[in-house]
Amino acid sequence: MIETTGDDRRFPPALAEVARVGFAYEEGEGVDFEPYDAFESAGGTSDWLRHWTGNHELDGGAYRIFGQDGTGGLAAVWCVRPGRALVEQPVVFFGSEGERGVVAGNLSDFLWVLADGFGPMEAALHVERETRPDPALGTLAARYATTPRRTAQAIVAEAQAEFASFSDDIDALCR
């Protein structure tokens, strides 16, 4: 098992494959997600976090940004579980207007969220909407997931309960 360290920026194979998937989004329909093919650099992540929070003393070491939506909102792996592999860390969303939320408890569950037709923004902010299962993403998730398939609603609810203080913790970082 690979442990997460402050400088671990190895892109998980599952995210590399997600980056090759085309996400359709038109007129407010579909999944508004543009995955990256590598994590944002450590410096770029720190710069973003400092500007997003207004706190220029922070570094972004706890986050691995791996995609965005059309408004500039970002999806990230949040390295909050010490000594655990990157794929065992939760996935979070930071909106361009200050919105934020926990998307999934780990990368495996995030793959199931995508397969259920939700991008990071939709899962964090609009998980009550109708599911739109994507067969190709379902196949991808089945190939890489180590957790059982569940609905996006169940995954998001479980992750948000586990990390119930996420939003308050982020508020505490803001200046």
Q: Bridge partners of 90?
A: none
pLDDT at 2: 32
- pTM for this predicted structure: 0.93
Q: What is the pLDDT of residue 103?
A: 98
Q: What pLDDT shows up at residue 7?
A: 55
State residue 97's pLDDT score: 93
Residue appearing with tokens 């000594």: 83
CA distance 64 to 97: 20
**What string of pLDDT tens digits covers the 175 residues of the chain?**
233 345 578 999 999 999 999 887 776 677 889 999 999 999 999 999 999 999 999 999 999 999 999 899 999 999 999 999 999 999 999 999 999 999 999 999 999 999 999 999 999 999 898 888 999 999 999 999 999 999 999 999 999 999 999 999 999 999 9
Give residues with Cβ within 8 angstroms of 74, minimum separation 6.
48, 65, 67, 68, 93, 94
Tell me, what's the pLDDT at 3? 36
In terms of Cα–Cα distance, which of 91, 113, 116, 110 is closest to 166?
91
Q: Are 124 and 153 contacting, i.e. CB atoms less than 8 angstroms apart? A: no
Q: Name the burial class of residue 84, with classes exposed (0-12), middle (13-18) and buried (19+) by CB atoms within 10 angstroms of its CB.
A: middle
